[in-house]
Amino acid sequence: MNMGLQKRSRKQKGIKRFLNSFKYAVDGFIYSYKNEQNLMVHVFVATIAIIFGFIFKLDKIEWLFVLVMIGLVFCAELINTSIEAVVDLVSPEKHPLAKIAKDTASGAVLSLCIVAFIGGLVIYIPKIIELFVK
């Protein structure tokens, strides 16, 4: 392997780089929150799900499901945002393949949101019904 390429491919290590990685991750989340309407909606829905979780006193397994689904939806939305940014960078003009990349990434987020919504219904509907039955 070329010695110059070997040197360039090694990443610096250390506490400063480690701490900066968290800063960059937070910057990415903030950017997406400010610029992606869907992430704002996800944060709102997640907040409501968490508030209802406390109101309905979810058990550990229910909390685990709710929190994992919130995390997965956030991750999917952030990955979708990054895919859209890269596609816009490499293909500023409209291109059928760029559209496919963006649409399928969005479709992945939608699929996950549907699953999370159905799972939320499974958890919360019996608890809501229980309120009216008592």
pTM (predicted TM-score): 0.84
| All structural domains of the chain with their residue ranges | 15-133
Would residue 130 show up in a list of annotated catalytic residues for this protein?
Answer: no
Non-local CB neighbours of 87 within 8 Å, separated by 6+ positions: 98, 101, 102
Is the per-residue pLDDT at 2 higher than 70?
A: no
The catalytic residue among 36, 77, 93, 130 is 77
Helix count and strand count (H, E) for the chain? 5, 0
Q: Give the CATH fold of the 15-133 domain.
A: Helix Hairpins (1.10.287)
Angle at 112 between CA 92 and CA 46, to 5 degrees: 100
> pLDDT tens for residues 83-92?
999 999 999 8
User: What per-residue string of b and e applies to 49-65 under the rule 16 or more CB within 10 Å gives b?
Assistant: beebbeebebeeebeeb
